[in-house]
A and B are shown apart, each in its own frame.
Chain A
Amino acid sequence: MERYKFLEHMADAKFQAYGRSLEEAFSNAALAVAGLMWDWQNVERKLEHPVEVRGNDLEQLLVNFLEEIIFLLETKMFLLSSVEKLMIEKEKKGFRLKALFKGDRYSEKYKIFGDVKAITYNEMEIEAGNRFMVQVVVDM
């Protein structure tokens, strides 16, 4: 199955990410965001960053989760290569997500070609069914 695809958006970048579960769709959305900035397939999986975020609803959970990629890039120079053990739990109020990011610290051997400033709620869609789909517009 296709992990994600980019759609037309006038000013910024818009993508849909897919999965057989919500967890898989979220994981692929993370790779789509990474794919806007670097070639995640070619980043070594040397370092690990555990991620834990909360959201009052799934949209907020998705925004907070994807923001972690930008935050780790800017503060730790961390380039994401894979998302593992992603779990979403329903809580009393909202949701909690845990995952393990694997990747490498930025160095000259990697090329960064895009700048994602923020994850937005603009045109955000989260669809459940036989196939799960999340649609996201990011500010570039």
Chain B
Amino acid sequence: MGRLRLPSPYFSLIVWGLMWEIVGRSGAVDLIPPLTDIAGAMVELTRLGSFWEALVVTGKGFALGLGLAVIVGVPIGVLMGLRRTADRLLSIWVDIFISAPLTALVPALMPLLGIGQATIVATVFLFSVWVIIIDSQAGIQQVNRSLVEMGLVFGADRRQLLYRVILPAALPEIATGLRMGVIRGIKGVIIGQVIIALIGFGGLFELYLQGFLMERFWALVFVIFGLAFVLIGLVERLEKRIEFYAATR
């Protein structure tokens, strides 16, 4: 028993990588080039001006959309947590859009906003804003009742109660919403670009598939996966820190 150790999670990754390499080397499937070639293409990719341009465009679209979603989503969620009227008016919309397949909306956005960055920003916004609203509202609603009473007993006015008690107490939940918003926003920006197929990584994907540059195609896929993991990891760390800071017992 003592000798048996569970394989590391990376073990399975390595096995699949090897299989990929073998299939790729055999040349049986045109769509699957060997992994080593893809790795080479990744290095190549970083030397391409078009890749960096795409990265900047994507980053901008993502940041703008997410920024808007935070600026709009957090206050709306907070308001819905504080005021029952706001909750009544808005919760039905939030419930619809949180689970709706928003990808279907992107083609509808194009004639409205044009085939460009504006549509990407709107897509990111639409993907991320709802979860930010929901978690902000939940955060406010979960604030410990006696913390609110404490604030009132010690003379807090509305402003003080909101900024010194309620918002800080809701912060961990709001941060969770932010993390979920980032995850959804990444999906949004890539889906938007792929559908539009002209700008950013979407344009590159289109180019590589048209030219059947499969090494580059896969290299780009892996790079985007990697970037997403790194970004989400960073946001997770931020969330942990906020949770620690506002540790609720």
Bound pair (A, B) = no
Please list the residues of chain A having a beta carbon within 8 angstroms of any beta carbon in chain B.
Answer: none
Please list the residues of chain B having a beta carbon within 8 angstroms of any beta carbon in chain A.
Answer: none
